[in-house]
Structure 1
Amino acid sequence: MPLFPSLPSPARLSDLLSRHPAHAGPLLMHVEGVMHAGAPLTAAECELIAAYVSGLNACAFCHGSHQIYAEALGIEPGLIDALLEDPDTAPIAPKMRPLLAYVAKLNNLPSRLTPTDVAAVMDAGWSEDALYHAVQVCALFNLFNRLVEGAGVDFTYGSNANLTPADRSADYKGFAKRLGVLG
């Protein structure tokens, strides 16, 4: 159930952003920059991290929508759920395992990150830029998870299989333009 009285039931992210447009355009441009701006991680890897972080935070809306995006971009169906169930046995590429472990620790216990955690990511072949990119995605989805949960955005894509969050391309800049919050 939506928490904000201006939102319909069920409430989508587009409902929230179009009712509060002052910051929606810049926010979605930031999302576009973090998720797609030719950074070290692929769009699929970014969407995997977004869905994983949102699942760790029990944000059903963001988890469900970004799982759709991740799978549309080539992430194996069921992988994100397997990560949430048991990250140690999930069928994830060895290179991704320490990066996702870092993201999970950052999400759940950030003050306990150590140079050993960074070394594990670097030893797997990631650059510092890639790790920073993963940190940005994690931070961004903590922000979005709080926006969504704080307003009561509750649309469930799983029960509406013919609908997608914006479109399957995860084009956040296009989404902002369609909402009219970006010129």
Structure 2
Amino acid sequence: MAHIPVPPGAPGIIGPMMAYPETAKPLNELAELLLSRETPNFSKAERETVANYVSFLNQCVFCSESHAGVADYHWQKSGISKQVWESPEQAPISDRLRALLKIAATVQKSARSVSQEDIAAAKKLGSTDRDIHDTVLIAAAFCMYNRYVDGLGTFAPPRGDAAYAEMGKILATKGYVKAIEN
């Protein structure tokens, strides 16, 4: 049971967003901006992988699982995200994304610890300044989203629940703003 009243049965961030729509709107707009667009070098699948990896590192079940569902939908292959959680070094992703995930993990632990070497490594593998900017912002934002979800003690279906793949498909196809409006 959540620490504050939220609509019954509304898991994770959905409950507080339904209870407090005035804060839901800008939070969803930020998620939409960060995750539902692609730049020439940074795909939706990669962006969602950064989000769910940071959420996994933060032990936020709802966010890691739901965003893994979105990422896997965009990857067009189930299980990529969970392979990243187990071992980014062994997961079937690019070295460039591995370098960005290293930056994201550093932001998750101690943002001031991101080094020039981390940035140079990502750039050497083809990351642009925009990719690095967006990675840091996604990681920082997801630390906030994770703390919002877990700090309110919201309900989350167990890891691996089929509901996460369905949530992922809805978010991947409708985006964050429209998925919540419906």
TM category (shorter chain) comes to 0.7 to 0.9
Report the CA distance between 1:25 and its aligned residue.
Answer: 1.0
User: What's the counterpart of residue 31 of structure 1?
Assistant: 31
Aligned ranges for residues 78-157 of structure 1 at < 5 Å? 78-156=79-157
Contact 2:55 2:63 in 1 (8 A): yes
Name the CA distance, whole Å, in 1 between partners of 2:7 and 2:181: 20
Give unmatched runs, 5+ long, in structure 2.
Answer: none
Aligned counterpart for 1:164 among listed residues 149, 166, 173 = 166
Secondary structure of the residue aligned to 1:152 is coil
Root-mean-square deviation over aligned CA pairs: 2.3
Aligned ranges for residues 55-94 of structure 1 at < 5 Å? 55-74=56-75, 76-94=77-95
Name the CA distance, whole Å, in 2 between partners of 1:28 and 1:22: 11
Report the CA distance between 1:26 and its aligned residue.
Answer: 1.8
Query: Does 1:21 pair with 2:25?
Result: no
- The number of residues matched between the two structures is 178
Matching residue's letter, 1:147: Y
Query: Does 1:173 pair with 2:174?
Result: no
Q: Deviations over 1:111-170 (max 9, x none)?
A: 222111110010001111111011111111111101110112223273344872271425
Cα 1:177/1:93, change in 2 over 3 Å:
same
Name the CA distance, whole Å, in 2 between partners of 1:170 and 1:58: 26
Higher share of residues assigned helix: 2
Name the CA distance, whole Å, in 2 between partners of 1:77 and 1:43: 15
Work out the percentage of aligned pairs sharing the same amino acid: 27
User: What's the counterpart of residue 2 of structure 2?
Assistant: 2
Name the CA distance, whole Å, in 1 between partners of 2:29 and 2:141: 12
Contact 1:41 1:134 in 2 (8 A): no
Name the CA distance, whole Å, in 1 between partners of 2:156 and 2:51: 17
Secondary structure of the residue aligned to 1:125 is coil
Q: Deviations over 1:63-89 (max 9, x none)?
A: 110111111111643332222223333
Name the CA distance, whole Å, in 2 between partners of 1:79 and 1:47: 11
Secondary structure of the residue aligned to 2:173 is coil
Cα 1:32/1:53, change in 2 over 3 Å:
same
Normalized against structure 1, the TM-score is what?
0.85
Greater mean alpha carbon deviation, residues 81-90 or residues 51-60: 81-90
Contact 2:34 2:138 in 1 (8 A): yes
